[in-house]
Amino acid sequence: MTQVLGKVVTFDEFVAKYPDNRGQRYELYDGVVVEMPQPTGDHEEIVVFLSTKITLEYSRLSLSYGIPKTVLVKPLENESAYSPDLLLLNLTNLVNEPLWKKASTVTKAASILLVIEVVSTNWRDDYLKKYADYEEMGIPEYWIVDYGALGGREFIGKPKQPTILVCCLEEGEYRVSKFRGNDRIQSPIFPELDLTAEQIFSAGTVR
Protein backbone atom coordinates (compact mmCIF):
# COMPACT_ATOMS: atom_id res chain seq x y z
CA MET A 1 0.00 0.00 0.00
CA THR A 2 1.08 3.57 -0.61
CA GLN A 3 1.94 5.65 2.45
CA VAL A 4 1.00 9.33 2.77
CA LEU A 5 3.69 11.43 4.41
CA GLY A 6 3.28 14.60 6.44
CA LYS A 7 1.84 17.97 5.53
CA VAL A 8 0.94 19.51 2.18
CA VAL A 9 4.00 20.75 0.28
CA THR A 10 4.73 22.61 -2.94
CA PHE A 11 6.49 21.05 -5.91
CA ASP A 12 9.65 23.03 -5.14
CA GLU A 13 9.64 21.73 -1.57
CA PHE A 14 9.07 18.22 -2.85
CA VAL A 15 12.04 18.16 -5.25
CA ALA A 16 14.27 19.77 -2.61
CA LYS A 17 13.57 17.04 -0.06
CA TYR A 18 12.57 13.87 -1.95
CA PRO A 19 13.84 11.36 -2.71
CA ASP A 20 16.10 11.11 0.29
CA ASN A 21 19.10 8.84 0.81
CA ARG A 22 17.03 5.71 1.35
CA GLY A 23 16.53 5.24 -2.36
CA GLN A 24 12.75 5.15 -1.93
CA ARG A 25 10.42 6.39 -4.70
CA TYR A 26 8.01 9.22 -3.97
CA GLU A 27 5.25 10.96 -5.89
CA LEU A 28 3.35 14.16 -5.19
CA TYR A 29 -0.46 14.14 -5.38
CA ASP A 30 -1.94 17.64 -5.13
CA GLY A 31 0.65 18.66 -2.57
CA VAL A 32 0.59 15.39 -0.64
CA VAL A 33 3.81 13.35 -0.63
CA VAL A 34 3.19 9.65 -1.23
CA GLU A 35 5.79 6.95 -0.59
CA MET A 36 5.46 4.33 -3.32
CA PRO A 37 5.44 0.65 -2.36
CA GLN A 38 8.36 -1.57 -3.34
CA PRO A 39 7.28 -3.28 -6.59
CA THR A 40 7.19 -7.05 -7.04
CA GLY A 41 9.67 -8.90 -9.19
CA ASP A 42 7.02 -9.61 -11.85
CA HIS A 43 6.23 -5.90 -12.02
CA GLU A 44 9.89 -5.01 -12.59
CA GLU A 45 10.45 -7.75 -15.18
CA ILE A 46 7.55 -6.39 -17.21
CA VAL A 47 9.06 -2.90 -17.01
CA VAL A 48 12.44 -4.24 -18.17
CA PHE A 49 10.81 -6.18 -21.01
CA LEU A 50 8.86 -3.18 -22.26
CA SER A 51 11.86 -0.86 -21.92
CA THR A 52 13.94 -3.23 -24.03
CA LYS A 53 11.32 -3.70 -26.75
CA ILE A 54 10.58 0.01 -27.04
CA THR A 55 14.27 0.94 -27.04
CA LEU A 56 14.92 -1.52 -29.85
CA GLU A 57 12.05 -0.04 -31.84
CA TYR A 58 13.03 3.62 -31.61
CA SER A 59 16.67 2.68 -32.22
CA ARG A 60 15.67 0.75 -35.33
CA LEU A 61 13.84 3.84 -36.58
CA SER A 62 16.79 6.14 -35.65
CA LEU A 63 14.55 8.41 -33.57
CA SER A 64 15.85 10.89 -30.98
CA TYR A 65 13.92 9.27 -28.17
CA GLY A 66 15.07 8.01 -24.78
CA ILE A 67 13.88 6.19 -21.66
CA PRO A 68 15.31 7.86 -18.53
CA LYS A 69 15.82 6.21 -15.17
CA THR A 70 14.32 8.83 -12.84
CA VAL A 71 12.39 11.73 -14.35
CA LEU A 72 9.30 13.41 -12.92
CA VAL A 73 6.21 14.27 -14.96
CA LYS A 74 4.56 17.41 -13.60
CA PRO A 75 1.13 18.71 -14.58
CA LEU A 76 1.24 22.49 -14.70
CA GLU A 77 -2.23 22.95 -13.23
CA ASN A 78 -1.60 21.36 -9.81
CA GLU A 79 1.06 20.51 -7.24
CA SER A 80 1.58 16.95 -8.44
CA ALA A 81 4.59 15.07 -9.77
CA TYR A 82 4.67 11.48 -10.98
CA SER A 83 7.49 8.98 -11.49
CA PRO A 84 6.16 6.65 -14.23
CA ASP A 85 7.22 3.04 -14.53
CA LEU A 86 8.28 3.83 -18.08
CA LEU A 87 8.62 7.25 -19.68
CA LEU A 88 9.54 7.78 -23.33
CA LEU A 89 11.00 11.23 -23.97
CA ASN A 90 11.41 13.27 -27.12
CA LEU A 91 15.00 14.35 -26.44
CA THR A 92 14.92 17.19 -28.95
CA ASN A 93 12.28 19.08 -26.93
CA LEU A 94 14.07 19.03 -23.59
CA VAL A 95 15.61 22.44 -24.37
CA ASN A 96 12.08 23.85 -23.97
CA GLU A 97 11.53 22.34 -20.53
CA PRO A 98 11.94 24.98 -17.77
CA LEU A 99 12.50 22.41 -14.99
CA TRP A 100 14.71 19.99 -16.87
CA LYS A 101 18.17 21.24 -15.94
CA LYS A 102 17.27 21.97 -12.34
CA ALA A 103 15.06 19.04 -11.39
CA SER A 104 14.98 16.53 -14.31
CA THR A 105 11.25 17.24 -14.62
CA VAL A 106 9.12 17.46 -17.77
CA THR A 107 5.89 19.41 -18.10
CA LYS A 108 5.20 19.65 -21.85
CA ALA A 109 3.37 17.12 -23.98
CA ALA A 110 5.87 17.71 -26.79
CA SER A 111 8.54 16.15 -24.56
CA ILE A 112 6.47 13.16 -23.42
CA LEU A 113 5.70 10.65 -26.15
CA LEU A 114 4.53 7.74 -24.05
CA VAL A 115 3.87 6.95 -20.39
CA ILE A 116 3.43 3.38 -19.18
CA GLU A 117 2.19 2.50 -15.72
CA VAL A 118 2.34 -1.16 -14.62
CA VAL A 119 -0.52 -1.58 -12.19
CA SER A 120 0.16 -2.33 -8.51
CA THR A 121 -2.09 -2.34 -5.45
CA ASN A 122 -2.62 1.42 -5.80
CA TRP A 123 -4.44 0.80 -9.11
CA ARG A 124 -6.91 3.65 -8.67
CA ASP A 125 -4.09 6.16 -9.14
CA ASP A 126 -3.28 4.74 -12.58
CA TYR A 127 -6.89 4.42 -13.75
CA LEU A 128 -8.24 7.66 -12.32
CA LYS A 129 -5.88 10.41 -11.15
CA LYS A 130 -2.94 9.81 -13.48
CA TYR A 131 -5.28 9.10 -16.38
CA ALA A 132 -6.99 12.46 -15.87
CA ASP A 133 -3.74 14.42 -15.43
CA TYR A 134 -1.96 12.80 -18.38
CA GLU A 135 -5.00 13.47 -20.55
CA GLU A 136 -5.17 17.11 -19.44
CA MET A 137 -1.46 17.55 -20.11
CA GLY A 138 -2.00 16.32 -23.66
CA ILE A 139 0.33 13.31 -23.42
CA PRO A 140 -0.34 11.51 -26.72
CA GLU A 141 -0.17 7.91 -25.50
CA TYR A 142 -0.65 6.26 -22.09
CA TRP A 143 -0.56 2.52 -21.41
CA ILE A 144 -2.01 0.92 -18.30
CA VAL A 145 -0.55 -2.59 -17.98
CA ASP A 146 -2.77 -4.49 -15.56
CA TYR A 147 -1.04 -7.87 -15.55
CA GLY A 148 -2.61 -8.90 -12.23
CA ALA A 149 -6.17 -7.89 -13.19
CA LEU A 150 -6.34 -5.59 -10.16
CA GLY A 151 -8.38 -2.76 -11.69
CA GLY A 152 -12.09 -2.23 -11.23
CA ARG A 153 -14.60 -4.11 -13.37
CA GLU A 154 -15.60 -0.89 -15.11
CA PHE A 155 -12.07 -0.73 -16.54
CA ILE A 156 -11.17 -4.37 -17.30
CA GLY A 157 -14.56 -6.07 -17.42
CA LYS A 158 -16.16 -9.01 -15.66
CA PRO A 159 -14.77 -11.55 -15.05
CA LYS A 160 -11.54 -9.69 -14.46
CA GLN A 161 -8.60 -10.73 -16.62
CA PRO A 162 -5.15 -9.30 -17.36
CA THR A 163 -5.64 -6.31 -19.66
CA ILE A 164 -3.58 -3.59 -21.30
CA LEU A 165 -5.31 -0.29 -21.90
CA VAL A 166 -3.75 1.88 -24.61
CA CYS A 167 -5.08 5.41 -24.26
CA CYS A 168 -4.53 7.59 -27.34
CA LEU A 169 -5.25 11.31 -27.38
CA GLU A 170 -7.87 12.38 -29.91
CA GLU A 171 -9.27 15.93 -29.89
CA GLY A 172 -8.08 16.45 -26.33
CA GLU A 173 -9.54 13.24 -24.91
CA TYR A 174 -8.25 9.71 -24.56
CA ARG A 175 -9.67 6.97 -26.75
CA VAL A 176 -9.15 3.70 -24.91
CA SER A 177 -8.42 0.35 -26.59
CA LYS A 178 -8.13 -2.87 -24.56
CA PHE A 179 -5.80 -5.76 -25.35
CA ARG A 180 -5.76 -9.27 -23.88
CA GLY A 181 -4.23 -12.64 -24.66
CA ASN A 182 -2.85 -12.83 -28.19
CA ASP A 183 -4.14 -9.36 -29.17
CA ARG A 184 -1.38 -7.39 -30.90
CA ILE A 185 -0.79 -4.04 -29.20
CA GLN A 186 -1.83 -1.16 -31.45
CA SER A 187 0.40 1.85 -30.76
CA PRO A 188 0.11 5.00 -32.89
CA ILE A 189 3.63 6.01 -31.86
CA PHE A 190 5.08 2.65 -32.96
CA PRO A 191 2.65 1.22 -35.55
CA GLU A 192 5.10 -1.54 -36.54
CA LEU A 193 5.70 -2.74 -32.98
CA ASP A 194 5.13 -6.51 -33.01
CA LEU A 195 4.09 -7.27 -29.46
CA THR A 196 1.11 -9.08 -27.95
CA ALA A 197 -0.51 -8.60 -24.58
CA GLU A 198 0.41 -12.14 -23.54
CA GLN A 199 4.09 -11.57 -24.34
CA ILE A 200 4.04 -8.63 -21.95
CA PHE A 201 2.14 -10.47 -19.22
CA SER A 202 4.47 -13.47 -19.33
CA ALA A 203 7.66 -11.38 -19.32
CA GLY A 204 8.23 -12.27 -15.67
CA THR A 205 8.10 -16.03 -16.26
CA VAL A 206 9.64 -16.64 -19.71
CA ARG A 207 13.37 -17.41 -19.73
Q: What pLDDT, on a 0 to 100 scale, did the predictor assign at position 24?
A: 78
How many contiguous H segments (helices) and E segments (strands) does the chain have?
A: 7, 11
Residue pLDDT, tens place only, 93-146 = 999 999 999 999 999 999 999 999 999 888 999 999 999 999 999 999 999 999
More confident residue, 69 or 145: 145
Is 192 in a helix, a strand, or coil? coil
- 118, β-bridge pairs: 145
pTM higher than 0.75 for the full model?
yes
